[in-house]
Amino acid sequence: WFAMAYLLLNPGLLAFGVVGFISMGMRISWTGSVASMFTIYMTVSNISHVIGNKSVGPLLDKWGFSYEEVFWTAGMTMLLPLLLLVFVQPKQVDEKKNEELNSG
């Protein structure tokens, strides 16, 4: 049951996380650079996926992690950006945009 739940839930939860990340990034991006920022966010997402996959080997071989510890490590590193979201204030970005529109 665990393997089945993991195989079904993991892609879904990752999709929600990626969509949430990109939508927040788009929300706090300047209007003129939104298309470029979207490309950068997608690129960073893809690069981090590759780096995550490549780090499994060294964690197992060099650091002596077990497969369970690799999953725990991956889970903990995925939680770090969520802790930083507390500091993101879209309202501040909106206020700054309004200031620039009113002054220009």
Contacts of 28 (CB under 8 A, 6+ apart): 88, 90, 93
Q: Name the percent of the chain lying above pLDDT 70.
A: 96
64: left (phi over 0), alpha (psi -120 to 50) or beta: left
The amino acid present at 48, given as its one-letter code, is S
Write down the mean pLDDT value for the chain.
81
The verdict on pTM exceeding 0.75 is: no
> What percentage of the chain has pLDDT greater than the value 90?
5
